[in-house]
Structure formats: C-alpha cells, structure tokens
C-alpha cells in the first residue's frame, strides 16, 4: 500500500510517498481503509522534531526517537471505512464508515486501530474529509476547556489562535459551554471566528495580546503568545491560564499563580473515545461543525505540511488519501 513515510527529522521534503506492507488487524483491532486524514500541528512538530522548549524537546525525542523517528508514518485524525476486523472485535463490521484519532499511521491507505480506542461510526451526512477534520482540534478543545479548565456558563474566555486547527473548535466548544468568547486571530478571520460563536474579536496584528486588559476567567493560548506573567494582569480572581505549549518556565509559574488566586493548567490531551462521543453529540445538536481550510490530494502532502507549519490558517487541513491520482508521480 502507499504511505507517506519519513525516516529523518526535517522540513516537508523529508516526507515521501512510498510502498509498505498493508498492516493486518491484531486481536481487538480494526483495519481501516483511510478515506481522508488531517495534517495537524502535531504532524509537523513530529516531522521536524520541533518540540517547544528544552524539556519538551528532550521528552519528545525520548518518546518519538532520539536520532530519527521511530515510526515512519505520521497522521492522527482520520476517517474511512472498516476493511477487516480482528479477533474479538465487537461493534464494528467491514463496510462501516468510521472516524477517529490514532497515535500514528493515518497518512497511509490502510491503518489499524484498537476497536476500543478513539474511533466511532461516522455521523450520518458527514463526508470523510469533514469527519477527518474534527478529532484533533475538537478533542483537544473539549478536554482543555471543559475537563481541565472547567469553563462555566457566563465565564469570559479568551482564545488565542482562534482560527487555527485547535482554535476553530475551541471557539465553538467554549460557546457551547455557555462562555462569552473573545477570539484572537488576524483581521481577515473576524467573520469566521464570530460566525463560530465568538462575541468579541481581537486582531493580534494591531492589538498585541499582552496589551489586553480583560478580565478573563480563562485564557486558552494555542499559539504560545503569552506566558503567565503577561496573562496574570488580565485574569479575574479564580482565573485559569491554559497554554497548549509549555516548558519548564511555565511549570515554575504554577506556585506564583496560586498565590494570586489563579491556576496555570499544564496538561496533555488524552483523545478518548468518550470525548469523541461528546463531539458526535455536539455535531448532532448543531453546536459544532467542521471548518476546513484546505484539502490536498495525498500526493501533495508536502504542500499540506508547509501550509500547516505556516501557523496561519482558517481551520483544518485535510488530505484526500483515497484520491490516488498522481500518487505514482509523488512516489
Ligand atoms: N498539550 C496538548 O496536549 C496539545 C494538544 C493539541 C495541540 N497542542 C499544541 O497546540 C498548538 C495549537 O495548534 P494549532 O494547530 O491550533 O495551531 P495553528 O493552527 O498553527 O494556529 C494558528 C492560529 O494562531 C493564530 N496566530 C498566529 N500568531 C498569533 C499571535 N501572535 N497571536 C495570536 N494568534 C496568533 C493564527 O491566526 P491567523 O491565521 O489569522 O494568522 C491562527 O488562528 C500546537 O502548538 C500544538 O502542538 C497541544
């Protein structure tokens, strides 16, 4: 089967389409014929070994390969069709349309996935591209805003990077939780961000986030624009600062934040099946919708990586894996 492979860390050029054996589903696993898969910030960070901060860089290399990637196939969020089921799998059958989030392996024609993992039947009416655009950002947004930060109705939530891969979902999730949302991105994104549920919008190019006054109950920083020292003056009493990327310096701020009546929340997303069930319910209730910035044929995966790494976009970036046109040329 065709897969996007990388065997060294580097720029988008280290990714190439090649042939590897089709995986076989083990006990408790399903084999998915991938229809579409997202290219996320996690993918370019793993491809480039661009782990923010010294501590994260060390931990990242230990987890994913010290001198080069341990696993050659990237790709977390996916949608497709069950091709085979392994022994002892219940709840899925060949032909079922599914979507979900895996640790790796979605940038390939086939992938295996634990049947009890973060995978569900694709909701009626969603295309593979739409379904594959959701898991990374929406699971992260739900986990951080609801579970970790505990956003309550009426709270004021500032979302930095509101048009990004996580941001477009975070605005919708925060609004669904009943928050008064302020979204931060560049001016051209204002209509999109307000349309997703933000009551207020800030253009970071004319108003630097550190100059905002708030007060906010939750500051969700998907970009790395602020540290706790800049966030503290704009946090209300009981406020939570939630940076998605963090290092040792942020850990050092946790005690100071407690003294100020704040919390600095430093966590890693769990990407659970339960989270995916809630995402599916929110879709059905019309509280969440896919936001797709660009679609690329599988053969143009390098261009997709480049675009995602630019850190300027309006929603998810998705590869049409089932689109086999030009694959031979890209190999
Ligand atoms: N801790 C965890 O478990 C976890 C889980 C998931 C993700 N993450 C991390 O979360 C981060 C978020 O990823 P993402 O895919 O959402 O990022 P992204 O798509 O690259 O974010 C782009 C967004 O940031 C905006 N932006 C750029 N510069 C800005 C600035 N100076 N101030 C405010 N906004 C700015 C962009 O606006 P314009 O487009 O208008 O320029 C756009 O809205 C990644 O670094 C990822 O590694 C962590």
For the residues of 74-127, what is the DSSP string, one character each? ---EEEEEEEEE-TT--S--TT-EEEEE-SS--SBSEEEEETTSSEEEPPTT--
Judged against a pLDDT cut of 60, whether residue 222 lies above it is answered with: yes
Per the prediction, the chain carries an average pLDDT of 94
Which homologous superfamily is 136-264 in?
Answer: NAD(P)-binding Rossmann-like Domain (3.40.50.720)
Numbered ranges of CATH 3.90.180.10 in the chain: 2-134+290-330
Are the CB atoms for 189 and 161 separated by under 8 Å? no
The CB of 269 under 6 Å from ligand 1? The reply is yes
pLDDT in tens, 183-212: 999 999 999 999 999 999 999 999 999 999
**pLDDT given for residue 179 in this prediction:** 98
The CB of 16 under 6 Å from ligand 1? The reply is no
Distance from C-alpha of 73 to C-alpha of 64, rounded to nearest angstrom: 12
Q: What are the C-alpha distances in Å from 118 to residues 99, 195, 314?
A: 8, 28, 25
**pLDDT given for residue 302 in this prediction:** 97
The CATH-assigned architecture of domain 2-134+290-330 is Alpha-Beta Complex (3.90)
Q: How far is the CA of 330 from the centre of ligand 1 (A)?
A: 29
The CB of 165 under 6 Å from ligand 1? The reply is yes
For the residues of 50-64, what is the DSSP string, one character each? --SSHHHHHHHHHHH
Q: How far is the CA of 163 from the centre of ligand 1 (A)?
A: 8
What does pTM read for this prediction? Answer: 0.94
Determine what percent of the chain falls in helix, strand and coil, rounding each to the nearest 5.
35, 25, 40
- Ligand 1: which residue has its CA nearest to atom 31? 225
- Ligand 1: which residue has its CA nearest to atom 14? 165
Average pLDDT, integer, range 58-76: 87
Q: Which of 320, 220, 321 is nearest to 264 (CA)?
A: 220
Query: Tokens 């024609």 sit at which residue?
Result: 109
Judged against a pLDDT cut of 70, whether residue 290 lies above it is answered with: yes
The CB of 142 under 6 Å from ligand 1? The reply is no
Average pLDDT, integer, range 171-193: 98
**pLDDT given for residue 22 in this prediction:** 97
pLDDT band at 331 (very low <50, low <70, confident <90, very high): very low
The proportion of the chain whose per-residue pLDDT surpasses 90, expressed as a percent, equals: 86
Numbered ranges of CATH 3.40.50.720 in the chain: 136-264
**pLDDT given for residue 328 in this prediction:** 52
The CB of 117 under 6 Å from ligand 1? The reply is no
User: Among 234, 312, 315, 317, which residue has the most ligand 1 atoms within 8 Å of its CB, making it the best to mutate?
Assistant: 312
Are the CB atoms for 151 and 301 separated by under 8 Å? no
Q: Which of 63, 103, 72 is nearest to 8 (CA)?
A: 72
Q: How far is the CA of 265 from the centre of ligand 1 (A)?
A: 17
pLDDT band at 170 (very low <50, low <70, confident <90, very high): very high
Judged against a pLDDT cut of 90, whether residue 106 lies above it is answered with: yes
More reliable by pLDDT, 250 or 216: 216
Judged against a pLDDT cut of 70, whether residue 154 lies above it is answered with: yes
């Amino acid at each position: 089967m065709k897969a996007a492979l990388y065997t060294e860390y580097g720029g988008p050029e280290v990714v190439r389409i090649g042939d590897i054996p089709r995986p076989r589903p083990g006990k408790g696993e399903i084999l998915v014929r991938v229809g579409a898969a997202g290219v996320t910030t996690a993918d370019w960070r793993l491809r480039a070994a661009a782990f923010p901060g010294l501590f994260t860089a060390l931990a990242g290399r230990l987890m994913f390969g010290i001198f080069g990637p341990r696993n050659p196939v990237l790709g977390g969020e996916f949608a497709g069709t069950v091709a085979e089921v392994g022994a002892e799998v219940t709840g899925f059958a060949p032909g079922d349309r599914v979507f979900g989030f895996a640790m790796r392996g979605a940038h390939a024609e086939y992938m295996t996935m634990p049947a009890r993992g973060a995978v569900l039947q694709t909701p009626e009416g969603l295309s593979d591209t739409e379904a594959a655009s959701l898991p990374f950002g929406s699971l992260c947004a739900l986990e951080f805003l609801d579970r970790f930060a505990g956003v309550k109705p009426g709270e004021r939530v500032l979302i930095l990077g509101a048009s990004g891969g996580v941001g477009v979902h975070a605005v919708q999730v925060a609004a669904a939780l009943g928050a008064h949302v302020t979204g931060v991105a560049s001016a051209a994104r204002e209509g999109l961000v307000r349309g997703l549920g933000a009551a207020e919008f800030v253009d970071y190019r004319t108003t630097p986030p550190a100059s905002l006054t708030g007060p906010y109950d939750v500051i969700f920083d998907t970009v790395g624009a602020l540290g706790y020292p800049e966030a503290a003056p704009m946090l209300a009493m009981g406020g939570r600062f939630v940076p998605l990327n963090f290092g040792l310096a942020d850990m050092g701020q946790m005690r100071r934040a407690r003294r100020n009546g704040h919390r600095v929340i430093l966590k890693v997303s769990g990407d659970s099946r339960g989270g995916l069930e809630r995402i599916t319910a929110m879709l059905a209730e019309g509280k969440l919708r896919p936001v797709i910035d660009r679609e690329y044929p599988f053969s143009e995966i390098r261009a997709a990586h480049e675009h995602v790494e630019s850190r300027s976009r309006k929603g998810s970036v998705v590869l049409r894996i089932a689109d086999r046109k030009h694959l031979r040329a890209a190999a």
